[in-house]
Chain A
Amino acid sequence: MAHRRYIQTAEPYAQINSTCYVAAVQLNTSHMKRLIPVYLPEGRAVPTNQNQILRDINGVDNGLPEAERTGDVVSMVQAGKETEGSSIDGQIAEYAYWRQEHKVTTWSF
């Protein structure tokens, strides 16, 4: 079973202020869309096309080289990597993903 996670769709949801908006993002592992905050570059309107939202989430237009575009810097949350467990199928997918490498042995008392 493949466990690679990626964004399947992204659309604008709401603007918070002049530097932040919320995008509705669907991962390939979950059919529910979840809401993530995204930096909005100064002076720009909230994008309406998916391509620009993905560029914003990944910080493509912020001037940093690719290696420095970590989730902390560019997108508030690492949309493709962070926890996705706010829905049932997201939680099941997240648990299955981490269980591959980090299943701990049972311990009873």
Chain B
Amino acid sequence: MPVRNEDHAACYGILIHSMEIAGQFENWTSPNVPIEGAKIGRTESGWVRQPWRVVLQHGGLREQKVSFGPHKAVEFRNFLNATPNEYNRSDKYSPSSTGLTYGSLSRLFTINKIDGKAGIPEAYGDKKFSELLEFDDTDYSVKWTQDWSLEGDGVKERIKSLGVIDSNNWMHNPMTGIIPSMPLRNRWNADSTTNWGRSTPSNIYCASFWPEGARTYDQLYRDWGQGAYIKFAGEELEIPKRGTGKNYIFVSNSVRYNVNQIDPLGPGRPFEMKSDRVTLTPENSSIIIHIYQK
């Protein structure tokens, strides 16, 4: 059984499905049919909106594959001809400011085929995805592997050199709001004897956010912001409260802060941040997702 344990937590509009996997495990992202209201432009049917979603893991590899098939050859070619900069920043893909393609965590951890390393550096921002990712034009599929390591030789330096996180290890848009309009397969193998395992077993956290009471994407993007901190082991990290309202946090690995704390902030459930500022202690590495009311 690939899923050894699972748990679920719902609070603050944040839903987290936690799974402990042992062996091979697949999980699919199922997008909406690209119709008006779901697709991101009147003529762009290769991408659709979704509530903010991210699948966290602490270290280890993940393989992702999207198969377009011959019936969606146009969407396949559009995907391959696009660039990271175009999709992350162009207004073309975010009409009414409602959304950005790709979470920035993908920029951090996707192994690119140019230098074979994890992460897509700023310098590759204008490279086409056909140059960065593996693709197969017989079944019209695109495949890539992500390495979620935060520890190890040169990992910290590599992540800091990509141009994605700022000097306080903060980045915008870790949760994905726009996805390809074909099912995307996530695959893990929590078995260190294979090429893409590295952790036995492994925990993954499928997290999503939709503000309670909201009904449109404009409400989501107008009223809420999201970002993430990358915390490296051996370093303190200061987290300030953001925006003018509620602040929520969830993490990929346990972290501790320096004031009156009994239990660590552990993965698998959300927390509300009420302090104006906390400093996390050095012991662990973690990805810290921070959702805030603007």
Binding site for B on A (CB under 8 A): 13-17, 20-22, 24, 32-37, 72, 76-77, 82-88, 91-92, 94-95, 98-99, 101-109
Contact = CB atoms under 8 A, between A and B. Distances in A.
B220 to A, nearest CB: 9
Nearest to A12: B71
Contacts, number: 138
Contacts of A104: 9-11, 269-270
A77 B30 contact: yes
A14 B71 contact: yes
Contacts of A33: 32-33
Contact of A36 (B12, B139, B183, B278): B183
A83 to B, nearest CB: 7
Given A104-B269, A107-B269, A35 B2 contact: no
B224 interface: no
Given A85-B50, A88-B216, A109-B261, A35 B10 contact: no
B15 A34 contact: no
Contacts of B278: 109
B181 interface: yes
B272 A106 contact: yes
A99 B48 CA distance: 26
B67 interface: yes
A20 B67 contact: yes
B103 to A, nearest CB: 15
Nearest to B208: A85
A38 to B, nearest CB: 10
Contacts of A84: 30
Contact of A35 (B13, B37, B183): B183
Contacts of B270: 104
Contacts of B71: 14-15
B245 interface: no
B269 A34 contact: no
Nearest to B219: A88
Given A35-B30, A35-B31, A95 B15 contact: yes
A102 to B, nearest CB: 4
B72 interface: yes
Given A37-B28, A86-B29, A16 B67 contact: yes
A86 B10 contact: no
A98 B9 CA distance: 8
Contacts of B183: 22, 35-37, 77
Give the most central of B10, B69, B210: most A CB within 10 Å: B10
Contacts of B62: none
B28 A109 contact: no
Give the 10 A-B CB pairs with smallest separation, nearest first.
Answer: A16-B69, A102-B8, A14-B71, A108-B272, A99-B10, A91-B51, A91-B210, A33-B33, A86-B50, A104-B9
Contacts of A83: 17, 30, 206, 208
A47 to B, nearest CB: 15
B188 interface: no
Interface string B45-63: 0001011010000000000
Contacts of B196: none
Given A87-B50, A108-B271, 13 more contacts: A16-B68, A16-B139, A32-B37, A35-B31, A35-B183, A88-B216, A91-B15, A92-B210, A94-B15, A94-B208, A102-B8, A102-B9, A109-B271
